[in-house]
Amino acid sequence: MARKTEIAVVGAGPAGMAAAIEAGRAGARVIVIDENQRPGGQLFKQIHKFFGSEAHRAGTRGVQIGLDLLREAEEAGVATLLDTVVYGIFSDRCLGLAREHHTEELEADAVILATGASENALAFPGWTLPGVMGAGATQTLIHIHRVLPGKRALMVGAGNVGLIVSYQLLQAGAKVVAVVEGLPAIGGYGVHASKVRRAGVPILTGHTVLRAEGREGVERAVIARVDENWKPIAGTERTLEVDTICLAVGLSPLAELAWMAGCEFRYIPALGGWVPLHDGNMETTRKGIYVAGDLAGIEEASTAMEEGRLAGLAAAQSLGHLTRERGEKKKGEVHKRLAALRMGSFGEGRAISKEQILQARETV
């Protein structure tokens, strides 16, 4: 017989934990499921101080935010099921779980999907050699497994992820030979770029990696300048002696479960690609199935937490744990904070894209 709960949250990252905390505080019976041995999602890899506003814990390290969320979840009476993969979602919000060498089912009145994102790859000659890896994988190796992936690294991509992981490689004792970025300008925050530059790492904009060379692993990377169409400019090739090539070329929403549930999607490049449509409550086109965090469009941990709160409140309200008045008031406060996070030169584009999702959702 299937186990039952009121609210099942898939993914124990900042979005899933925040959703579970709000729903638990409202009095709902909540189970959070995560494939890892420890909850927290990306947060436990992020030893750096977060950016953003004070209200969103700028200056606090991701690890600390993760620990705080775990404590709050416990206080809210949230149950966690770790080391457990949700391999499928079936009719009537029934989840297929794989754990401890067996499978089982969990039926929920509401499901909140907060599965995060996967790293984009970049195909070039030699990209399958050992030593070519995602920047997020590099972070996992260093901060979770305490393993330095190599001694001399090339970082591909100068967005926030590429810049932050470059700095973390330096802190862990590796040399970052260069950061290459195809665009004419650095994509990440100036504060991160400055730290990397001050450490003596050249950030080469308008450059890309052409190929990786080596016999059994990466031994060299060939880079070149690119024109405005991203075409390599002949005669500008340079060979760098590296044993690691880290790819920080974007993230895509990890949306398999939402596809499987039959949710409607839109392709929105500014949010990382195919994104499940959702309304202001984070509810998808399937009743009782909510999304939050990077799955609902690639942004940041701070927005992921706020979206999680919205989904948790909305799910709890739909199950009668919050009066309409109280639910709407609390969600209104979250919407205000989300709007503040989506202001400024970095946030505006995301605000417009999120608006597109809401409008598209209304037409379905």
Ligand X SMILES: Cc1cc2nc3c(=O)[nH]c(=O)nc-3n(C[C@H](O)[C@H](O)[C@H](O)COP(=O)(O)OP(=O)(O)OC[C@H]3O[C@@H](n4cnc5c(N)ncnc54)[C@H](O)[C@@H]3O)c2cc1C
- Judged by CB under 6 A, the chain residues 249 through 268 that form the site for ligand X are 254
Q: Given candidates 30, 78, 132, 139, which one binds ligand X under the rule CB under 6 A?
A: 139
Question: What is the rounded CA–CA span in Å between residue 361 and residue 335?
Answer: 17
- The least distance separating ligand X from the CB of residue 178, rounded to whole angstroms, comes to 18
Q: Is 306 in the site for ligand X (CB under 6 A)?
A: no
- The least distance separating ligand X from the CB of residue 236, rounded to whole angstroms, comes to 29
Residue 165: closest CA among 57, 47, 271: 47
Cα–chain center distance at 272: 10
Q: Is 161 in the site for ligand X (CB under 6 A)?
A: yes
Q: Is 179 in the site for ligand X (CB under 6 A)?
A: no
Tokens matching residue 167: 């700095």
Strands 30-33 and 79-81: parallel
Residue pointed to by tokens 């416990």: 74
**Buried/exposed code over 252-286 (b: 16+ C-beta within 10 A; e: otherwise):** bbbbbbbeebebebbebeebbbebbbbeebbbbbb
Burial class (CB in 10 A: 0-12, 13-18, 19+), 241: exposed
Question: Nearer Cβ to ligand X, position 222 or 260?
Answer: 260
Name every residue whose Cβ is closer than 8 Å to that of residue 5 and which is 6 or more positions away in sequence: 29, 30, 31, 79, 106, 107, 108, 109
Let me know how long the chain is: 364
Q: Is 114 in the site for ligand X (CB under 6 A)?
A: yes
Residue count at the site for ligand X (CB under 6 A)? 37
Q: Given candidates 8, 196, 304, 314, which one binds ligand X under the rule CB under 6 A?
A: 304
- The least distance separating ligand X from the CB of residue 299, rounded to whole angstroms, comes to 6
Cα angle 200, 151, 161; round to 5? 60
- The least distance separating ligand X from the CB of residue 354, rounded to whole angstroms, comes to 14
Q: Is 167 in the site for ligand X (CB under 6 A)?
A: no
Question: What is the rounded CA–CA span in Å between residue 4 and residue 97?
Answer: 13
Tokens matching residue 101: 């060498």
Q: Given candidates 111, 165, 209, 242, which one binds ligand X under the rule CB under 6 A?
A: 165
Q: Given candidates 115, 208, 244, 284, which one binds ligand X under the rule CB under 6 A?
A: 115
Residue pointed to by tokens 């590796």: 174
Question: What is the rounded CA–CA span in Å between residue 56 and residue 315?
Answer: 23
Question: Nearer Cβ to ligand X, position 37 or 91?
Answer: 37
Question: What is the rounded CA–CA span in Å between residue 134 and residue 293?
Answer: 20
Q: Given candidates 5, 42, 80, 353, which one binds ligand X under the rule CB under 6 A?
A: 42
Question: Nearer Cβ to ligand X, position 168 or 318?
Answer: 168
Going by the DSSP 8-state scheme, the letter that residue 43 receives in this structure is G
- The least distance separating ligand X from the CB of residue 163, rounded to whole angstroms, comes to 9
Q: Given candidates 188, 273, 293, 312, which one binds ligand X under the rule CB under 6 A?
A: 293
Q: Is 51 in the site for ligand X (CB under 6 A)?
A: yes
What track of x and - describes contact with ligand X for positions 55 through 94 (by CB under 6 A)?
------------------------------xx--------
- The least distance separating ligand X from the CB of residue 192, rounded to whole angstroms, comes to 9
- The least distance separating ligand X from the CB of residue 229, rounded to whole angstroms, comes to 28
Q: Which span (27-35, 101-109, 269-277, 322-330) binds ligand X, by CB under 6 A? A: 27-35
Residue 135: closest CA among 86, 190, 59, 188: 188
Contact 23, 30 (CB under 8 A): yes
What track of x and - describes contact with ligand X for positions 141 through 160 (by CB under 6 A)?
-------------------x
- Judged by CB under 6 A, the chain residues 181 through 220 that form the site for ligand X are none
The 3-state DSSP class for residue 128 equals: coil
Residue pointed to by tokens 């199950």: 319
Question: Nearer Cβ to ligand X, position 288 or 347?
Answer: 347
Q: Which residues bind ligand X (CB under 6 A)?
A: 10-16, 33-36, 41-42, 46, 50-52, 85-86, 114-116, 136, 139, 160-161, 164-165, 254, 293-295, 299-302, 304
